[in-house]
Structure 1
Amino acid sequence: ARRSVTWAIWLIGLFYLLSLVLGYGAGALVGPTQILEAPGGVNSAAPLLANALGGPILMGFISAVAFATILAVVAGLTITASASFAHDIYANVIKKGKVSGPGEVRVARITTLAVGALAIIGGIGVQGQNVAFLVALAFAVAASANLPTIIYSLFWRRFTTTGAVMSMYGGLAAAVILIVLSPVFSGGDTSVFPQLDIAVFPLENPGIVSIPLGFLLGFLGSLIGPKNEDPRKAAEMEVRALTGHGAEKAVDH
């Protein structure tokens, strides 16, 4: 598992560094003026670059890949969100495990509709924004909430439940609050709410602050939290974190 995480980090990192190459390539071969005047604005950089390099055939191929990728990502995230809410929050937290299989499925379906509606409303609210930048914000929020817990779970045996809770909630809250207080949300012509001006955080992406804060909270929570956790439970969670064993039971349930 550690070896897989290392490979994934390097491959994904190199892949996203290619976006810089695509951006500079589009600016050099297509031109900033033509990109800004295109129907999609800055979001048209990649299709216009494909058209400049390979004509309509390459542009059509890139457009098809982009559409398929968006469809797969949206479907995967929607299913994951609905299943997580139905199983983890509704079944285990709200109902304390006292829920039938059909009831859990019904809640998952309702959650799917709710997530889809919220996504549509959010998409309408950020029309005209740079899609790549919005993706970077989503990655910053996800990394702030999840990355410290994943790294600590894999490589630090003294990591505790208190550290995980503080890391996830603290990193998530920090990222969201800093985005709301940044120029992305208000105070600028390209902000989501340009008529407001509550921007006190100067950076447009909170990751450089919220991700280290998540690591710090996870470290402090593991030091100040209870140390007398059940060793059998800790061993079971370590095996699940490293191998994924046991996830199929939750799915079957």
Structure 2
Amino acid sequence: VRLLSDRHEVDDLRIERLVGDVWTHVALVHPKSEKMETVYECIEEATTTTTTTTGIPPATPFTQIGMNRACRGANSSDNSPSYYYVKVAQTLEDCQARCLEEVHCQGIEFRPGRCEVWVREIQATASVSGFQCLRYVEPMTRGFIPAEGGVDRACRGAGGNNAPSNYRIASASSLRECQDLCLNQECQGIEYSRGRCELWQAIGATASVAGFRCLHLLRGYEAVDGPDRACRGATSSDNSPGHYQ
């Protein structure tokens, strides 16, 4: 900073303003007159420090149950192989990605090179050196709601039909990626299962199919041409009753 005035005793003044996180100037105020005068100004951009943290980023849908802990079922000795799929993953992030590919994933157990994708609720852990156990927490809906429960349901059209004209098939490595594809185009919902993503135009029903999820997309609303406006068709006088119900 650079001193602009030397006419004041600091004890007689108080600091007045801070703009954002960086001082742009220091304004001091006389206690009696309340007259403000800038006596310092910033002549060099403030230096910021970036802190790098390790582990799981805040936005991840996984919560750490414990380091040096292995996942278990109902108790610390409940470790049936039917509870998980064993995958190869060199990093924690890779293991998390394997979980997101699995519709029924409940969490992961990880050590470098080995990844267990748990499909049973993780209720306990056991002390095992070098392992991590993380629980998968379902992210916020992002506008998607389950159709008839969502899990183990495949999307269908009106009357239960599954005509290919009802949807477009896309490739997605996770449920979230399938949701992103739907959000970025004309889409009313999704069906997802292990890398297969169907972008639906209209979901009228569902069918029971293991390993699938069917989700409706509830899109938000925005004003057309502002407030105090009535809806019309092709022109401002086009108000045919056939346009609405």
TM-score by length of 1: 0.22
- Name the structure with the higher helix share: 1
TM-score by length of 2: 0.22
Larger Rg: 2
- Name the structure with the higher strand share: 2
